[in-house]
Amino acid sequence: MLYAILCYHDEDFVGSWSKDQDEAVMKKLAVVQEKLTQQGRLGPVARLLPTTAAATLRKEDPPLVLDGPYAETKEQLLGFYIVDCKNLDEALDVARDLGAANPGGAYEVRPVGVFRPGGISA
């Protein structure tokens, strides 16, 4: 069974880290990741850019694009995609197509800051 570990933290707090603090945290995380990599148990790792860079597509008809992160707590995170797009509009087009195939709920579109593909297969 593969497990997804979703990272949550207060953005105000993380945003207050100095560059050195940020690097120190990333370094400590890298130690943990390295161990898993050597055991062949680590899949993709992504660090998302701040929620201010996010747009949300509500899968209504027609789909509604909103600024900011996804904020409806009555719905749950069910999965995620990583797609390669030229810009936000292209990424929203992909989300629209996905939304047409599977209406209801919403997609949050957030740029990825760090991406490591990892080496496991499901």
Does residue number 21 form part of the binding site for another protein (CB under 8 A)? yes
Distance (Å, rounded) from C-alpha 80 to C-alpha 108? 9
Q: Which amino acid is present at 12? A: D
Does residue number 68 form part of the binding site for another protein (CB under 8 A)? yes
Site track for another protein across 24-53, x = CB under 8 A:
-------------------------xxxxx
Between the alpha carbon of residue 110 and those of residues 2, 56, 61, 73, the distances in Å are 23, 9, 22, 18
**Cα–Cα nearest to 7, from 67, 80, 92:** 80
Closest distance to another protein from the beta carbon of 45 (Å) = 15
**Of the residues 63, 111, 116, 118, which one makes contact with another protein according to CB under 8 A:** 111
Q: Residue for token digits 């499901």? A: 122
**Of the residues 2, 5, 6, 12, which one makes contact with another protein according to CB under 8 A:** 12
Q: Which of 36/66 has CB closer to another protein?
A: 66
Does residue number 115 form part of the binding site for another protein (CB under 8 A)? no
Q: Coil, helix or strand for 28? A: helix
Q: Coil, helix or strand for 85? A: coil
Positions in the binding site for another protein (CB under 8 A): 10-13, 15-19, 21, 49-53, 55, 65-68, 87-89, 111, 113-114
